[in-house]
Every structure is written in structure tokens, then in C-alpha cells.
Amino acid sequence: MRTLLVYASRYGSTRLIGEWIIERLGFVAEIKDVKKAPAPSAYELVIIGSGVYSEGVLPEINAYIDKYLDVLEEKQVVLYAVCMDVEGVYLKGKIWGGWAYLLPVIKKFKNPPLHAGLLHGEINPAKLSQDDYQRLLSFYNKVLRRQVDKVPYKTMLNKQEAWTFAEKILWRLKKR
């Protein structure tokens, strides 16, 4: 199946997860940074992934989808977002985190995507830009009220989770 995986990633986890998904799918695929990604016209399956920053996917992934929405509506589309809070929480009448990150992207489509999901990422302070480091530090202290002076390393990257996600894609493709 002609497959394109387009990702937006600041620190590599969305790309790595994309590689794991493709490995499990077993299709020959092109894996492209959204900044250099081709139009999706020549592909049957288009998988689109983004890291989550400040409660949403990266703007360049929204821009790609908006640009090619008409073409994408005719493809098998899979969406995934990579973040720390895959579960989300209900607070004061609103859902924060989890599906709230991906739902605005799903809602762009008239034809519902074949599959979509949230996958666990990582925070590696050694990789972060100074701005992102400071943003996180202030989030931990002001929002989570943790009183930390360093951003801790935390990885929840999980190859099995990515493979299970890919297996669901295979299953849904077989059913269509």
C-alpha cells in the first residue's frame, strides 16, 4: 500500500514513533518532516503525526492538513499526537489534555479518519531549547505547583504502544 507518514516534531519523538508504526505495518513508506512533505496525492494511506505543545498539535501540521484537506478526504488517513498527558482530565466543565489535543484536528475531516490516537512521548531536558526549558519549568512550578528548579528527564516512549497502534490500522484497513 503506497504510504506516506508526515510528522511535525521538535525533539524527535514523533518521528521515532512514526518509524515504529511503519516498521509494524510492514509497508514500504516515505517518512517526511512536514516542512518538506510532498502533497498526499500519490499515496493511498497517509499517516499524520505531531508532537503536542501548549495544549495542541504543532501549527505546521494544521497548515499541512488545511492545505491538502480535499485530497486527504479521499485517502485513508491516520492521525496521531505525541504527548505526556494521553489520558486528559475533566475539570470545571472542560476536558484538558488527551483527546482534547487531537479532536480539533479530527473535526477538520468530513470523512472520519481511519484511525487516530494519542501516544506517549518524552521530555529530555538535555535536548530542549532554552525557551522550551523555561516554559516547562514555569509550567511545573506555577500550574502543577511542584517547586522544582530543574526539568526532570521523563520518557514514556513505548514501542509496544506504537506497534499496537499500527496493528489497529492494519485491522481497520482489512475491514474496509
Ligand X SMILES: Cc1cc2nc3c(=O)[nH]c(=O)nc-3n(C[C@H](O)[C@H](O)[C@H](O)COP(=O)(O)O)c2cc1C
Beta bridge partners of 82: 51, 119
Residue nearest to ligand X (CB): 121
Distance CA 143, CA 141 (A): 6
- Chain-centroid distance of CA 132 in Å reads 18
- For residues 140 and 163, which CB has a smaller minimum distance to ligand X in the complex? 140
Other C-beta atoms within 10 Å of 101: how many?
Answer: 23
Binding flags for ligand X, 137-176, as an x/- string (CB under 6 A)? ----------------------------------------
Asked if residue 123 binds ligand X (CB under 6 A), the reply is yes
Instruction: Return the residues of window 51-110 that contact ligand X according to CB under 6 A.
Output: 51-55, 82-85, 97
- Residue 14 as a binder of ligand X (CB under 6 A): the answer is yes
The phi and psi torsions of 83 (rounded to 5 degrees) equal -160, 180
Q: Measured from the CB of residue 70, what is the shortest distance to ligand X in angstroms?
A: 27
Instruction: Indicate which single residue of 3, 4, 6, 9 sits in contact with ligand X (rule: CB under 6 A).
Output: 9
Where does this chain touch ligand X (CB under 6 A) — which range of 28-36, 68-76, 105-113, 115-123?
A: 115-123
Alpha-helical (H) ranges within 73-107 are: 99-106
| Rounded Cα–Cα distance for residues 33 and 45 (Å) | 16
CA distance 176 to 174: 6
* Contacts to ligand X by CB under 6 A: 9-14, 51-55, 82-85, 97, 121-123, 128, 132, 135-136
